[in-house]
Structure 1
Amino acid sequence: MQDLEIYIRDLKAGAVCRWLESQVEQLTLDDSDVSRVMKGTAGFGGSHLNITLYPQAFGKRYTSLIIEGEQLPWNSDLECARSAWRELDTEIRCSPGEWKEGEPVDNEKWWRLDSRGEQLVVWN
């Protein structure tokens, strides 16, 4: 199982569904209430995808989006973040590489995509 994870700043209700509808098949996700954890499914390339949104990740302004499956619409978190930024028009962040759960992230740089472009930054 592979996964993609990005962080979306100030997520608006319905925005993730509008973006993902053009990227995946058979999307079942209700993101009309972005203040709670939301789970959904979709298909891509004949593979089943699990989609989860976690509000208030890395501070109150970011929502974590995790997409898991055998085949994914993008090859990396950064590719996913670029697609999201083009469609959602809000700041998107993602890990620059293969971060694993439990590893420290305090001084790690993250990709930040916003109106200033793509930059590696310390999160805080």
Structure 2
Amino acid sequence: MDRYPDIEVYVASVSHETLNAWLAEALLASPLSPAGKGKWKTRGTHQGEEVPVLLVENAADGFSSLWFDSAQTPWATDQECAQHAAVALQTEIRCSLGGWHPGADPDRFWQVLPDGREGAIEWPDSGR
């Protein structure tokens, strides 16, 4: 499986304290620090490589975007990260179904729940 050039997941509500603890465990990252209105950043490392991290609060429908700007993360894909994060953070995580390519449906996402259930969803929900 190819590694994604970066990882982005969408995190349902979780405290900064909980998120900081997970980032410290997963990436040896220092606590998130302010980076503008509703934005937070930090840097971690994985296998000696620096991993910049950006959190954008309320990026979409009550979810915050968590972006790892590196291919050198503990996860090869967004979905692997989502699976790990959902259990570790005990919250719902969403991510793209795969790398973007022309013709891809931009509203299809992968949902991972803390109890391990997961599957494809339409997001935003067209029924709202």
Deviation, 1:22, is 1.5
After TM superposition, the structure 1 stretch with the greater mean CA deviation from structure 2, 90-99 or 16-25, is 16-25
Alpha-carbon RMSD across the aligned residues, in angstroms, is 2.2
**Match status 1:109 vs 2:84:** no
Q: What CA deviation, in whole Å up to 9, does each residue of 1:82-109 have, x standing for no partner?
A: 1100111111000010027xx862xx31
> What is the distance in 1 between the residues matched to 2:33 and 2:85?
15
Give the structure 2 partner of residue 13 of structure 1.
Answer: 16
The normalised TM-score by structure 1 is: 0.82
- Segments of 5+ residues of structure 2 without an aligned counterpart are none
Letter in 1 for 2:60: F
| Structure with the bigger percentage of helix | 2
Letter in 1 for 2:76: N
Count of paired positions: 116
The normalised TM-score by structure 2 is: 0.80
Q: What CA deviation, in whole Å up to 9, does each residue of 1:46-76 have, x standing for no partner?
A: 11110000011112x1000000124111000
Letter in 1 for 2:64: T
> What is the distance in 1 between the residues matched to 2:71 and 2:116?
34
Change (3 A) 1:92 1:70: closer
Q: What CA deviation, in whole Å up to 9, does each residue of 1:14-63 have, x standing for no partner?
A: 121111222113x123269xx8200110111111110000011112x100
- Segments of 5+ residues of structure 1 without an aligned counterpart are none
Matches within 5 A, 1:93-104: 93-99=94-100
Give the structure 2 partner of residue 2 of structure 1.
Answer: 5
> What is the distance in 1 between the residues matched to 2:119 and 2:84?
16
